[in-house]
Structure 1
Amino acid sequence: MDASGWRLAFVRLTRRLWFRLAAFAVGAVAVALLAGAAGSWPTSVVPVDLGQGSVQTLLQILATSMLAVTTFSLTVMVSVYASAASVSTPRATQLLVEDQTSQHALATFLGAFVYSIVGIAALSTGYYGEDGRIVLYAGTLVVIALVVITLLRWIQHLVGFGRMADVLDRVERAACDAATEAARRPHLGGLPPVPVPATAWAVEAAVAGVVTRIDLQALSTVAERCGGRVHVLVRAGAAVARGEALARVERGGEDEHGGAVRRAFLVERHRTYDQDPRLGMVALGEIGSRALSPSTNDPGTAIEALNAIQRVLTAALTTAPDGETAHARVHVPSVALADLVEDGVRPIARDGAALVEVGLRVQRVLGGLLHVAGDEDAAVLREASRRAERRAAAGLSDPGDVALVGQAAARARGEAA
């Protein structure tokens, strides 16, 4: 595994809930046990006999309360995950699981519980002397202060955590980050696709799944070693079957370079937001589409999703490519604007075809995007406007509503009404 692979593994590790819980628990055990190794300086600084009972009482209170608070917090988090998956989209759950405030709160509560348990056990064995009890008492006061501050932040965080607005904001940020990065580096630092020579040999996927990451540096290294070029055929987010071609390589051979090229494509069970701008648009489209279902009937949320889609696409359209080619021997396809528009706008335009307010908002969003789009992108947006207009004309029953959507579509495309 190269440096970028290790870096990705470390970032993913730090996002996991258990990692922070384990780190805080280990730290709590270390602090509680190191207090017994204190020298004679604590009694000279604090010439007070605290007694073993006072420290143990505080630790018992802390242990009892932290067990209840940790259980409550975990229950709340699981409930929020289930609620977000049912009312918005399951694609947003991974963003909630990676929420840093929630992880920090749960880790702090668990760490305080472990600290108090270890302290009580050590006190009962006579592990601490007079100096150790003073250090343990001071450490307990610090832990209590951290718990109080964290609890106040956690309570404030729960006011909006997992609500529809919070989910929309999280998905929008993830989609915007991925979309702007794709616009800045449309070919991931490589070159645009070119015709693939017939002699180029294919590297096939070893397992079925979803491509979540492509290591361009590894592909560039292979291309330099074999003196040819690597033609990437799939982007992150693409579902591949076992035996499906991931890339084609000029020169070299499967036995010599096939394993290295195959390892450059990370194939997993589920899509992630990192290199996949389409996933964010899919999630926003699903949120808007689910809000328009008969059981929910919430056009306002669909309109909010459309507004978020407009902001994401505006950021992508206004981001200039950096023009840097770090991997001159690797050819990578870019993410098409048509795919992003279809992923985000089409589900809402389809399911909201019978609602005039949704039809009007779709046209206004597309019209706003046309103001910042280039000629090629403008053609894609105009076609999306026409399709949405046809859906609305077929779904609306009132001729006046049909006329309103038609006028909004004409204004969006810059045509005469």
Structure 2
Amino acid sequence: MSSVWKWNLRQIGRQIWVPIAAFAALGLATAGGAVLAKPFVPAELGLKIGAESVGTLLEILASSMLTVTTFSLSIMLSAFASAAGSATPRAIKLMQEDDVSRSVLATFMGVFIFALAGLIGLQSGIYDASGRLVLFVVTLAVVAAVVVQLVRWIGHLADFGRLGDTLTRLEAAADTALADRLATPFLGGQRLTPTEARHPGQVIRAPTTGYLQTIDMKGIEGAAKLAGTRIAITVLPGHFLHQAAPVAHCLSDTSLDENTAKFIASRFIVAEARTYEQDPRFGVLALTEVASRALSPAVNDPGTAIDILGRQVRVLSRWRTRPEPVVLYSSLSVAELSLADMMTDAFAAIARDAAGLIEVQIRLQKMLIALHDIDPALFGPEARALSDRALALAEAALVYAPDAEVLRALNATLHARTLPADARHQST
């Protein structure tokens, strides 16, 4: 199956109408099952166990579920507004995809549709005594599902939409996306070398303007093999593209025909907004955006910025130097996600917005030291550059000289850890 089809199926599966349609289908299946079960269910059995009361149960479900659904929708909208106001509007997408909220709301709405379908069937005379028994049993199972979902929903509302819950969702989204990317750093292709990146082959440009959400690697691989060429992919999910932006080029002198070039361009799926799924930088940027809002004079919440610095380190610490991955698409070379860009996304804006806040600047310097200690060769160069930048911003903004001295000492500590052991000994 094409990766675009898999992507589209995942997006469809996240839509709330899917479970609602499942409950509606359950109502229709119950009507059909009642007819099919008629020869096997004694009519007297339904009378003995009270199946005649199923109409009353369905009326209660229909009236109560409509009320509960309306109430739940108002709660969700309030939670979305709270997340957008206290954190960032970019978090609303994650909350809309919350499994518990979608499951609960879909259950309530789906049960309402099921109850309506059952009542229509009863009033139209579809169900005889044995059919009412089948409907009664299914209705009891539906009532049990409603009770379970109500309990889940009550527990979920304690944190839903709160700032801490929103930050946890953003961190989890960034962490998951980064883990997936590190598992397949070149999206199944080969590493794009500097020589390949500069190759003067035929250029393929973006199909439209917007953010790149995913790339159909399988489709491009097939087209490249048919054309007898290799393709260099120079963009990654999350990049903003326009119709003149190059997204790939041939790594041979072979010229692609117009149809093949258009097909390859169409395999770059572009949409209006960024998504968290295949874009690790988006989650990190969203966390930084929350910190910047917390550091604004209107909010004045440095504690949230300090908390986010720790979350950024947790996300970035997943990055490790790994062996070359298994190549699934040998005809494709793909650009690599830049660690320097990720670290800049995580810390540069916070260093700027907290330039005059010593408590945030101290934590920032300590977090950069922590990343350096995790892997000096990997994080060290960018950690030193960001430490120097943060120190320069703080020196220009701090009004109390001893605060700047504290930051200089932390910056010197970071730089000292990059020296050879004998040089450190001599400097002391």
1:148-167 to 2 correspondences below 5 Å: 148-167=147-166
Q: 125-134 vs 195-204, which deviates more? A: 195-204
* Partner residue, 1:311: 314
Q: How many Å separate the matches in 2 of 1:230 and 1:296? A: 49
* Partner residue, 1:223: 224
Contact preservation (8 Å) 2:3, 2:217 = no
What's the offset of the Cα at 1:32? 4.8
1:337-356 to 2 correspondences below 5 Å: 337-356=339-358
Deviations 1:108-136 (A, max 9, x none): 11111112112222222222111112222
Indicate yes or no: 2:400 matched with 1:407.
Answer: no
Contact preservation (8 Å) 1:81, 1:96 = yes
User: Cα distance 1:267–1:171, how it changes in 2: closer, same or farther (>3 A)?
Assistant: same
Q: 302-311 vs 22-31, which deviates more? A: 22-31
Paired letter, 1:125: S
What's the offset of the Cα at 1:397? 1.4
1:232-251 to 2 correspondences below 5 Å: 232-249=233-250, 250=252, 251=254
Q: How many Å separate the matches in 2 of 1:49 and 1:286? A: 60
User: Cα distance 1:311–1:41, how it changes in 2: closer, same or farther (>3 A)?
Assistant: same
SS of residue paired to 1:371:
helix
User: Cα distance 1:198–1:160, how it changes in 2: closer, same or farther (>3 A)?
Assistant: closer
* Partner residue, 1:357: 359
Q: How many Å separate the matches in 1 of 2:194 and 2:222? A: 19
Q: How many Å separate the matches in 1 of 2:208 and 2:27? A: 42
User: Cα distance 1:61–1:228, how it changes in 2: closer, same or farther (>3 A)?
Assistant: same
User: Cα distance 1:169–1:28, how it changes in 2: closer, same or farther (>3 A)?
Assistant: farther
* Partner residue, 2:174: 175
Contact preservation (8 Å) 1:231, 1:332 = yes
Paired letter, 2:272: R
* Partner residue, 1:188: 187
Paired letter, 1:261: I
Contact preservation (8 Å) 1:202, 1:245 = yes
SS of residue paired to 1:38:
helix
Q: How many Å separate the matches in 2 of 1:57 and 1:9? A: 41
User: Cα distance 1:106–1:319, how it changes in 2: closer, same or farther (>3 A)?
Assistant: farther
What's the offset of the Cα at 1:256? 4.6
* Partner residue, 1:286: 289
SS of residue paired to 2:212:
strand
- What are the ranges of 5 or more consecutive residues in structure 2 without an aligned counterpart? 418-426
Q: 18-27 vs 303-312, which deviates more? A: 18-27
Q: Aligned to 2:263, which of 260, 274, 286?
A: 260
What's the offset of the Cα at 1:258? 0.1
Contact preservation (8 Å) 2:205, 2:243 = yes
Q: How many Å separate the matches in 2 of 1:262 and 1:107? A: 37
Contact preservation (8 Å) 1:25, 1:110 = no
Contact preservation (8 Å) 1:193, 1:231 = no
User: Cα distance 1:413–1:173, how it changes in 2: closer, same or farther (>3 A)?
Assistant: farther
Deviations 1:297-350 (A, max 9, x none): 11111111111100000012x362453222233221111111111111111111
Q: How many Å separate the matches in 1 of 2:410 and 2:276? A: 33
* TM-score normalised by L of structure 1: 0.93
* Partner residue, 2:206: 205
Q: How many Å separate the matches in 1 of 2:169 and 2:27? A: 32
Indicate yes or no: 2:387 matched with 1:388.
Answer: no
Contact preservation (8 Å) 2:159, 2:165 = yes
User: Cα distance 1:391–1:64, how it changes in 2: closer, same or farther (>3 A)?
Assistant: same
Q: How many Å separate the matches in 2 of 1:173 and 1:56? A: 45
Q: How many Å separate the matches in 2 of 1:314 and 1:22? A: 42
Q: 205-214 vs 145-154, which deviates more? A: 205-214
Q: How many Å separate the matches in 1 of 2:182 and 2:51? A: 65
Q: How many Å separate the matches in 1 of 2:184 and 2:207? A: 28
Q: How many Å separate the matches in 2 of 1:24 and 1:392? A: 58
User: Cα distance 1:125–1:324, how it changes in 2: closer, same or farther (>3 A)?
Assistant: closer
Paired letter, 2:16: L
User: Cα distance 1:333–1:51, how it changes in 2: closer, same or farther (>3 A)?
Assistant: closer
SS of residue paired to 1:80:
helix
Q: How many Å separate the matches in 2 of 1:376 and 1:116? A: 59
Deviations 1:19-66 (A, max 9, x none): 2222223223432553354324254655616364x2222211111110
* Partner residue, 2:423: none
Contact preservation (8 Å) 1:191, 1:329 = no
Q: How many Å separate the matches in 2 of 1:152 and 1:167? A: 22
What is the root-mean-square deviation of aligned Cα atoms in Å? Answer: 2.1
SS of residue paired to 2:146:
helix
Contact preservation (8 Å) 2:214, 2:270 = yes
Q: 225-234 vs 363-372, which deviates more? A: 225-234
User: Cα distance 1:33–1:327, how it changes in 2: closer, same or farther (>3 A)?
Assistant: closer
* Partner residue, 2:421: none
Paired letter, 2:305: A
Q: How many Å separate the matches in 1 of 2:325 and 2:318? A: 18
Q: How many Å separate the matches in 1 of 2:127 and 2:372? A: 72
User: Cα distance 1:280–1:131, how it changes in 2: closer, same or farther (>3 A)?
Assistant: same
Instruction: Name the count of aligned residue pairs.
Output: 414
Q: How many Å separate the matches in 2 of 1:127 and 1:380? A: 72
Q: 217-226 vs 364-373, which deviates more? A: 217-226
